[in-house]
Structure 1
Amino acid sequence: MKITGAVLTSIGAERPYAASRPLGIRTLELDAPGPGELRIRIEAAGLCHSDLSVVNGTRPRPVPMLLGHEAAGIVDALGSGIDDLEVGDRVVTVFLPRCESCDNCRTGGKLPCSTGSATNGAGTLPSGEVRLHDEGGSAVNHHLGVSGFATHAVVDRRSVVRVGHDVPPAIAAVLGCAVLTGGGAVRNAGGLRAGQGLIVVGLGGVGMSAILVGRAITQAAGGRVIGIDANSDKHAAALEMGADAVYTPESAVDAGITAPVVVEAAGHPRAFETAFRVTAPGGTTVTAGLPAPGALSQIEPLTLTAEARTVVGSYLGSSIPAQDIPAYEALWRDGTLPAEKLITSTIALDDINRALDVLDTGDAIRQVILF
């Protein structure tokens, strides 16, 4: 079938992206789903820094590639071998499918699936196939097994989680990446308990999600949630999310604040250093950001020993999406997790290059494309 999507044909375009237009809106051919695959009519797709990092070359991927990984939509076709979904179901996409058989998948979400990571890097679906082609018949690569910046997508069954029809598409979309990653850094990797304090360094979509989930966990027992970001324009939004206080990195260090659980969500080596510095003795520093390859941070190793500190990495929120997304869905449904606060604006697909500029400047939490 013919679809419309945003295709990246070269990496490293000049800014502003509204002028250089690295993402071209193209007509493509989408093959029918193969065994264990399904086709989704995309309803909403969020713009994430993981998309921007492909555009700017921080995390290079094979091009041409149809971008987008944080999406939600309606199942409109099923390949053979799928008996637990129906046409008409609303699903959330997940950007790392789990094979459930590799050693990494046996770690309960701590390590990303090695098979899924390999196919994501190759730009294929888990089957090794490519279901996207341009009008001349040449293959167009898949982004993280999803390619959600399009009217339709074919994905593996393991790349989706069903949600209720009462979950609006834009909210469903952010559950699959921003909330899953930020919330999981708090719940799974950080092990935050009711009444404990939490500090989140880096207040983008993932960091704000960590604020929301941290507030849901610790609020009733009086635990404090604190945000840190160099961009003071984000401070008011963090307070709206439920943070008790917000600081710049410098003012946080000057104030001497610490917490037993600290999540770094900026993907910058200086942010990790700040996160480590504000972690309390005996506490855990969780790094969930994705810095550029080769970026280095400096910490004092003696602190780890003398203060019995823990540093842990968290990819995809150290989660098992089939279990975690329904948990966040339930928190949203009972009003404990107001994920709608993450959505700065909704846009059309044609506005995507301008939206990349907004994302690049850090002036948005989540921009969501509605189809």
Structure 2
Amino acid sequence: MARAAVLRAVGDEELELRDDVGTVDPGPDQVKIKIKATGVCHSDLSTISGVLPSMPPTVMGHEGSGVVAEVGARVANVAPGDHVVVNWSPDCGTCPDCLRGEPYLCMTFLAQSFGDPRFTFGDGSPAFGMAGCGTWADEMTVPWQAVIKVDEDVPFEYAALLGCGIPTGVGAAINTARVRPGSKVAVVGAGGVGLSVIQGAKIAGASAILAIDPNEAKHPVAKQFGATHTATLDGLEEAKGLLTGGAGFDYAFEVVGKAAAITTAWNATRRGGDVIVVGAGAADDDFTMSAFALLFDGKNLKPSVYGGCDLKRDVPRFVDLWRAGRLDIDGLISRRIRFEEINDAVRALKSGEVIRQVVLFD
């Protein structure tokens, strides 16, 4: 039996930290992973609150890394002992989305996860894993497509962030938006993923990067990751005038998950520019835009699911950027904590006092 942090019901204030949770044995196309590190991501908070769907009881967590413990008979991409990053949205390779070259849109395994419990409690009752994962546990079993091998010199806490926060943010800039060198970028929201968007824009060669966040304590941090300027919502128009002559930014990224933040990004963008939606919002939070403005402003509204990433391709790219000193992973980690501190970590995430917390398993 192993430890796991369990959401018993949507909206619970406290997760249940149990030590009697087992994971199912791997089938022929599955892999069992011993989790070594896992991030505490805003999407976890959204699952706890019900903004994102789940199937309680749910073992929480989706951003993780670890060591392969067992593999099924037909698994060929990894072997026991390999270090791996968890891909929370694995691609099946055969559905229309995959065949179009859009693996980040594949829903095959995510859909299956709502009817396929991967964990059991000590009394034999089943439990599901968040997004088919459940990285807030000592071990878990996933399809072989959900593991990406990574070199052993990459620390586990860094590898964990390569599973969600970094690909979602950096990928939004370099894959979805394809930020052009010399362009001007605005980023609405300077949390962990927003800072990764800023890094992606810097890597792509943006000449000006404005970080927009109402919490001024985040402004110096945003500059450490590549923002050239910062502003609160009240100061946005002044900054827009200073940096773009009032015309607006070439790209504006929404990284909050709120319709109001999409509107802020839209208003910050120049005519013909790109508005990229990165944050995961609620199903009942509607974004509205007049048909007139939608046409005559000529702006492009682009969703960025998982940063448009194919992790098989992009994890090695991110590792190369980290090795070259162009991608700061360590700076994103506010706290390294133990399993017993997970509920404290959720509270810290709610308060906005941290960037990324990483749980380290023994």
TM bucket, shorter chain:
over 0.9
In 1, Cα distance between the equivalents of 2:152 and 2:104?
Answer: 31
Residue aligning to 1:212: 199
Give the C-alpha shift of residue 123 in structure 1. 5.4
Q: 2:343 and 2:222 mapped to 1: Cα distance?
A: 26
Verify the 8 A CA contact 1:30 1:131 in the aligned structure 2.
yes
Are positions 1:331 and 2:331 aligned together?
A: no
2:50 is aligned with 1:57: yes
Greater shift in the superposed pair: 108-117 or 305-314? 108-117
Mapped to 2, the partners of 1:299 and 1:138 lie a distance apart of 47
2:213 to 222, 229, 237: 229
CA distance in 1: counterparts of 2:299 and 2:225, whole angstroms:
28
Q: Say if 1:276 and 1:299, in contact at 8 Å, map to a contact too.
A: no
Partner residue of 1:44 out of 32, 37, 43 = 37
Q: Structure 1 265/23 Cα, relative in aligned 2: closer, same or farther at 3 Å?
A: farther
% identical aligned pairs:
32
Residue matched to 1:316: 306
Structure 2: how far apart are the matches of 1:264 and 1:100? Answer: 29
Q: How far does residue 6 in structure 1 lie from its aligned partner after superposition?
A: 0.7
State the one-letter code of the partner of 1:167: V
Contact 1:211 1:243 survives alignment (8 Å): yes
Q: Aligned partners of 2:123 and 2:203: how far apart in 1?
A: 50
Please report how far the alpha carbon of residue 288 of structure 1 lies from its aligned counterpart in structure 2 after TM superposition.
1.0
Distance 1:42 1:143 in 2: 15
Does structure 2 conserve the Cα–Cα contact (< 8 Å) formed by 1:11 and 1:60? no
Q: How does 1:241-320 map to 2 (within 5 A)?
A: 241-257=225-241, 258-320=248-310
Deviation at 1:335, TM superposition (A): 0.8
Aligned residues: 355
Does 1:238 pair with 2:222?
yes
Query: Contact 2:274/2:299 (CA < 8 Å) preserved in 1?
Result: yes
| Cα 1:216/1:153, change in 2 over 3 Å | same
Conserved 8 A contact 1:189-1:318: yes
1:42-98 deviation line (CA, Å, top 9, x unaligned) = 110001111111211222311111010000011121111112212211110011111
1:116 CA displacement: 2.6
Shift of 1:23: 3.3
- Does 2:1 match 1:6? no
- The answer to whether the 8 A contact 1:201-1:263 is kept is yes
Letter in structure 1 aligned against 2:8: T
Match of 2:82 among 89, 93, 98: 89
**Mapped contact 1:145–1:156 kept (Cα < 8 A):** no
Q: TM-score, normalised by structure 2?
A: 0.94
Distance 1:297 1:149, change over 3 A: same
Per the TM alignment, residue 181 of structure 1 is displaced from its structure 2 partner at its CA by: 0.6
| Aligned position for 1:178 | 165
Contact 1:102 1:113 in 2 (8 A): yes
Cα displacement (A) at 1:110: 7.1
Cα distance between partner residues in 2 of 1:231 and 1:51: 21
How far apart, in 2, do the equivalents of 1:123 and 1:64 lie? Answer: 12
Q: Which moved more, 1:74-83 or 1:298-307?
A: 298-307
Q: What residue is the counterpart of 2:15 in the other structure?
A: 22
Superposition deviation, residue 262 in structure 1: 1.4
Displacement, 1:118?
1.3
Kept in 2: contact 1:65–1:141 (CA 8 A): yes
Aligned-residue offset at 1:25 = 2.9
Query: What RMSD over aligned residues (CA atoms) do the two structures have, in Å?
Result: 1.6
Structure 2 counterpart SS, 1:292: coil
Q: 2:100 aligns with which of 99, 107, 117?
A: 107
Conserved in 1, the CA contact under 8 Å of 2:77 and 2:144? no
Residue matched to 1:201: 188
Q: What's the offset of the Cα at 1:26?
A: 3.3
Q: What runs of 5+ residues in structure 1 fail to find an aligned partner?
A: 125-129
Unaligned regions of 5+ residues in structure 2, if any?
242-247
Question: Residues of 1 paired with 2:320 and 2:177: CA distance?
Answer: 21
1:180/1:55 CA distance change after superposition, 3 Å: same
One-letter identity of the residue aligned with 1:329: V
Secondary structure, aligned partner of 1:144: helix
Look up the equivalent residue of 1:330 and give its one-letter code. Answer: D
DSSP-derived class of the 1:51 partner: helix
Describe the SS at the equivalent of 2:334: strand
Given that 1:23 and 1:352 are in contact with CA atoms closer than 8 Å, whether structure 2 keeps it comes out as no
Mapped partners of 1:116, 1:110: distance in 2? 12
Q: Secondary structure of 2:148's match?
A: strand
Query: How far did residue 131 of structure 1 move?
Result: 3.1
TM-score normalised by structure 1 residue count:
0.92
CA distance in 2, matches of 1:288, 1:123: 27
SS at match of 2:105: coil
Amino acid at match of 2:249: A
Amino acid at match of 1:285: V
